[in-house]
Structure 1
Amino acid sequence: MKLSDFVKLVKFRLTFLVVFSASISFLIGSKVNGYINWENWAILIVGGFLVTSAANCFNEIIEKDLDRMMKRTSDRPLPAERMTTGQALVIGLFMGILGTYLLQKLNLLTGFLSVFSIILYAFAYTPLKRKSPIAVFVGAIPGALPPLIGYVAAHPQIDDIALILFGIQFVWQFPHFWAIAWVLDDDYKLAGFRLLPTGKRNLPSAVITFISTLILLPVSLLPWLYNHSGMYLAIVSAVFSLIFLYQAFNLMRTLEIKAARSLMFGSFLYLPVVQLMFLFDFIGK
Structure 2
Amino acid sequence: MKWSDFSKLIKFRLTFLVVFSASISFLIGSKVNGLIEWRSWGMLIAGGFLVTGAANIFNEIIEKDLDKLMKRTMDRPIPSGKMTTGQALVIGLFMAIFGTSLLFKLNFTAGYLSVFSIALYAFVYTPLKRVSPIAVFVGAIPGALPPLIGYVAAHPQIDKIALVLFGIQFIWQFPHFWAIAWVLDDDYKLAGFRLLATGKRDKWSAIIALIFTLILLPVSLLPTYMGFGGYVIGGVSLILSLVFIYQAFNLVKTLEIKSAKQLMYGSFFYLPLVQLILLFDFIGKK
State the partner residue of 1:72. Answer: 72
State the partner residue of 2:36. Answer: 36
Q: CA deviation at 1:11?
A: 0.1
State the partner residue of 1:220. Answer: 220
Cα distance between partner residues in 2 of 1:225 and 1:13: 33
Cα distance between partner residues in 1 of 2:76 and 2:24: 30
Q: CA deviation at 1:55?
A: 0.1
Gaps of 5+ in 2: none
Cα distance between partner residues in 1 of 2:48 and 2:235: 31
Letter in 1 for 2:28: I
Whether 2:98 is the aligned partner of 1:102: answer no
Q: CA deviation at 1:3?
A: 1.3
Q: What TM-score, normalized to structure 2?
A: 0.99
Q: CA deviation at 1:84?
A: 0.2
* Secondary structure, aligned partner of 1:282: helix
Whether 2:175 is the aligned partner of 1:182: answer no
State the partner residue of 1:168. Answer: 168
Whether 2:32 is the aligned partner of 1:60: answer no
Letter in 2 for 1:91: I
Q: Deviations over 1:105-133 (max 9, x none)?
A: 00011000000000000000000000000
Q: Deviations over 1:35-94 (max 9, x none)?
A: 100000000000000000000000000000000000000000000011000000000000
Gaps of 5+ in 1: none
CA RMSD of aligned residues (A): 0.8
Q: CA deviation at 1:2?
A: 1.4
* Secondary structure, aligned partner of 1:249: helix
State the partner residue of 1:192. Answer: 192
Whether 2:209 is the aligned partner of 1:209: answer yes
Aligned runs of 1:86-97 on 2, under 5 Å? 86-97=86-97
State the partner residue of 1:85. Answer: 85
Letter in 2 for 1:221: L
Identity of aligned residues (%): 76
State the partner residue of 1:275. Answer: 275
* Secondary structure, aligned partner of 1:281: helix
Cα distance between partner residues in 1 of 2:157 and 2:254: 45
Letter in 2 for 1:260: A
Runs of 4+ in 1 over 4 A off after TM superposition: none
Q: CA deviation at 1:279?
A: 0.5
Q: CA deviation at 1:236?
A: 0.3
Cα distance between partner residues in 1 of 2:82 and 2:231: 52
State the partner residue of 1:242. Answer: 242
* Secondary structure, aligned partner of 2:282: coil
Cα distance between partner residues in 2 of 1:160 and 1:187: 40
Cα distance between partner residues in 2 of 1:205 and 1:231: 34
Cα distance between partner residues in 2 of 1:158 and 1:278: 18
Whether 2:118 is the aligned partner of 1:118: answer yes
State the partner residue of 2:137. Answer: 137
Cα distance between partner residues in 1 of 2:86 and 2:173: 32
Cα distance between partner residues in 1 of 2:147 and 2:88: 27
Q: CA deviation at 1:282?
A: 1.1
Cα distance between partner residues in 2 of 1:169 and 1:23: 14
State the partner residue of 1:156. Answer: 156
* Secondary structure, aligned partner of 2:74: coil
Q: CA deviation at 1:169?
A: 0.1
Q: CA deviation at 1:216?
A: 0.3
Letter in 1 for 2:130: R
Cα distance between partner residues in 2 of 1:70 and 1:115: 29
Letter in 2 for 1:81: G
